[in-house]
Each structure stands twice: as structure tokens, then as C-alpha cells.
Amino acid sequence: MIAAAVAVSISPALAQGLPGDFMFLRDIDPTIIQDIRYATSDNFMGRRMAGYDAAECVVKRGVGLRLKAVQQELAPQKLSLKMFDCYRPVRAVADMVAWSKKGRETAAEHRYNPAFSKADLFRLGYIATHSGHSTGAAVDLTLVDLTADNSGKFDPAKDYADCTAPAAARAPEGSIDMGTGYDCSDTRAHTASSSITPLQRRWRNTLVAVMSGQGFVNYSKEWWHFSLPGAGREAYDFPIPPHRN
């Protein structure tokens, strides 16, 4: 009887190997699309980053519930959220810092910051040495038109145009064209940039509005980055584990 009582008291997070009130987003809303880029080679470093042992979106429970509310608001419009990054281990942030200090930069890496060197990413505020993602309270995301053809796949052997190029020329992301690719370190990626089309501006405004409605705050230099004030303070460094069905 005692053993049974203990088993019942185990939280879903602990059962999945997550600390505190962290949860897998798919356990809160499995309809939200996930494309966790740092667990793949499709990112500005060109490889899986430290701590991303699985391509899973992990968030604080309160953040996940608000994302679920956003998804429910989008569903009647045949739209969906698509997650690029959620909780980010501190070791992944350190991995980014170390990468930025290495002088060599490949053409594929430079696609993400076409106007300047990767050494300037921290100075210009595109990458932080202490990330809100590590608290579980920040997310990177976009919108997907569920009625469109989103079948394009990233080909690591292909020579794509840089992240500011027209959508047809840059790496495919299977999502609505917001004017730049994800993780594009460029002024065109600033949320209020005037260097995008009216349609791209409308989609950015739509994303900001629906996220703001649930209390999320956008980072002005990245149209994809949102945080939920007060949802997390302590930075964590546990690796992202595979989801257990």
C-alpha cells in the first residue's frame, strides 16, 4: 500500500525525468508542431548543440498551458504554432559562446548573419551569454498555415541563400514567410523592421498579437522570440531527454 501511494504521488514531470514543473509540450498539447532546430544540423552552428539529447520542446507548465491557449485560438483559422526552441540547457549556451569565439566561419554558418561576423553576435544582442530559455520561460516559434504545402525539407548538402533572401531561395522551414528565416541575425529580423513586405508585416503582427494575448513579450530584435514574465528565474542545465510514450 505504501509503495502504491508513492507511485501515485509521482508527478508527470518526474516520471519523464524532468525537474520541478518542467513538462514536455507534447504532453500539454500534441497538436503544436515541433521543429527543435538545435537538436539537428539545421542551425547556425551546423550541428547538434550540447544538451539537446532529443528534439523535444520542454517548458515550464504555465508556459505550456498558455501556448495551448494560443493554439486553440489559432485552430479555427487553420493555423498552428511551430516551436523552434524552448528550454535551452546552460551547456548549450556555453556551446554557443565557444563557437562564437572560434575565428573560422563556414559559408553555411554565415547564412545566418550575412551582414557581420559571428564574433559580433553577442555584442549586438543576437545571442545572450545568459539566456531566458534556460529558465524554461522563453520560446522561439512561428506560424504554420495548415492549408499550405509545408513538405519542404532541409538538405545539408544544398547551398541555400542567406536568411534575408526570398523564402524560395533560403532553407525551407515549412512555415509562413515572416520575411527572414529563423535565427537570422539581421535588422530585417527585428520585429518592427520596415524592410519587409506588407504581408510579412501582417503575419508578424498576427504572431505578436496572439502571443501577447496570453501574456508573452516579444524580443524586438527577433520576431520569433517570446518570453513569459515571472514564469522562470533559475537557469537549469539538465539535458533534454527523449519523450517516453
- Please give the positions annotated as active site: 222
| DSSP type of residue 1 | -
- Per the CB < 8 A criterion, the answer to whether 197 and 188 are in contact is no
> In whole angstroms, what is the distance from residue 225 CA to residue 194 CA?
18
> In whole angstroms, what is the distance from residue 122 CA to residue 15 CA?
37
> In whole angstroms, what is the distance from residue 112 CA to residue 222 CA?
13
> In whole angstroms, what is the distance from residue 35 CA to residue 112 CA?
17
Q: Residue 214 half-sphere exposure, CB side, CA atoms within 13 Å? A: 21
> In whole angstroms, what is the distance from residue 49 CA to residue 34 CA?
17
Name which of 59, 69, 76, 80 is nearest 16 in CA terms. 59
> In whole angstroms, what is the distance from residue 36 CA to residue 57 CA?
7
Distance of CA 192 to the CA centre of its chain: 19
Beta bridge partners of 7: none
